[in-house]
Amino acid sequence: MTRPIHILNGPNLNLLGAREPEIYGALTLGEIEQACAAHARDLGFDIVFRQSNHEGELIDWLHDANVNASAVVFNPAAFTHTSVALHDAVRAIEPPVIEVHLSQTAAREAFRHHSYIAPAARGSITGLGLQSYLLGITAAVSCLGN
Ligand code: DQA
């Protein structure tokens, strides 16, 4: 049986919809999940969609994805700019990991310009709102040769 695509979300993304909508848009995380599930289904994949405010839990979920996922779409949120541990976890696992961001981090504050995740990820898609996630799923599937 084909393994699902795991879509992992970092801190504060549970507040989407209410949190700085001028930057992150009006969609809630639940609405993003529904759109991701529909897009993945069109490409022949189920998804596992998770959010955590805790770095260690995200590391555990990357380890779980190593065993149970075809690929990972990962929005590490603020941990993007701080976490060597998440960099190491992304490097440590086999499935392709696509880094995604809703906002265009390169056009924002200087502290958002560096990603610890990008050098470990297969690719990165930023600045396109919901489309970053949907393109991330498409990219993840194309990495699998499907
Ligand atoms: C974000 C960008 C990060 O800089 C920020 O800390 C977030 C969300 C995005 O999706 O645009 O929480 O990952």
Catalytically active residues are 24, 101
Q: Give the residue ranges of the chain where pLDDT is below 70.
A: 146
CA distance 38 to 35: 5
CA distance 18 to 135: 24
Q: Where are the domains of the chain?
A: 5-143
Mutate to test the pocket of ligand 1, among 19, 24, 99, 103 (most ligand atoms within 8 A of CB): 103
CA distance 16 to 144: 30
Report the CATH architecture of 5-143. Answer: 3-Layer(aba) Sandwich (3.40)
pLDDT mean across residues, the chain: 97
pLDDT score of 1: 77
pLDDT score of 145: 83
Residues with CB under 6 A from ligand 1: 12, 75, 77-78, 80, 101-103, 105, 112
